[in-house]
Amino acid sequence: MGKLKTEAWRLAVAGGGSRELLAGHREFFADHRVVSKGLLSRVELARCMREADVFVFPSLAEGSARVVFEALAAGCYVITTPNSGSIVEDGVHGRLVPPGNAEALANAIRETLFMDRKAIAAVGMRNSELIRNEYRQVHYGDKLVELYRQVLETGA
């Protein structure tokens, strides 16, 4: 991130383990554009996501990371890996990068930083609408019942 000469970005790092991360990477966190938020409450995390344009989650392995769904709901353009267990499609909801590939992650972040802000906002708005319309808990129950109904009808 430090190689990006533009001042037009800010990185907020949130989550447990931030203290250890800070200790091991003091030079990285010395950049005035990088802020360690530490462990946030659900309310603080939601506010942080709503204020963000882009959410980066470079997961190596997850079942289905709820935080990615929360970022989509907050209207973020999402950069993650296929291992996040999310619905993110490359070029649709943001970007997918190979897990553990720092160069691919850096390139995706760099490319996103130079994208048109309106295009990023449009993706974020579509992401938020998708979650609101298709992935709310009430919809999950309806879809599950429909799936069971289909299984019973096919005799599978």
User: Do residue 29 and residue 58 come from a single domain?
Assistant: no
Q: Is there a single domain that holds both residue 32 and residue 81?
A: no
pTM for this predicted structure: 0.80
Higher pLDDT, 85 or 82: 82
Tell whether the model's pLDDT for residue 12 goes beyond 60: yes
Give the H or E element holding residue 57. strand 54-57
User: How far from the centroid of its chain's Cα atoms is residue 30's Cα?
Assistant: 24
Q: How far apart are CA 63 and CA 57, in angstroms?
A: 14
Statement to judge: residues 67 and 103 lie in one domain: yes
Residue with tokens 């993650």: 80
Q: Count how many domains the chain has.
A: 2
What per-residue confidence (pLDDT) applies to 49? 93
Q: What integer pLDDT is reported at residue 72 of this predicted model? A: 96
Rounded Cα gap, residues 27 and 23, in angstroms: 10
Token representation of residue 40: 């946030």
Which residue range forms the structural domain that includes residue 97?
A: 51-154
Whether 56 is in a domain gets the answer: yes
Between 79 and 86, the more confident residue is 79
Q: Is the domain of 57 the same as that of 14?
A: no
Same domain? For 83 and 104 the reply is yes
Say yes or no: 75 and 119 in one domain.
yes
Q: What is the pLDDT of residues 89-107, one digit of tens each?
A: 999 999 999 999 999 999 9
Whether residues 8 and 84 share a domain: the answer is no
Residue 135 reports pLDDT greater than 60: yes
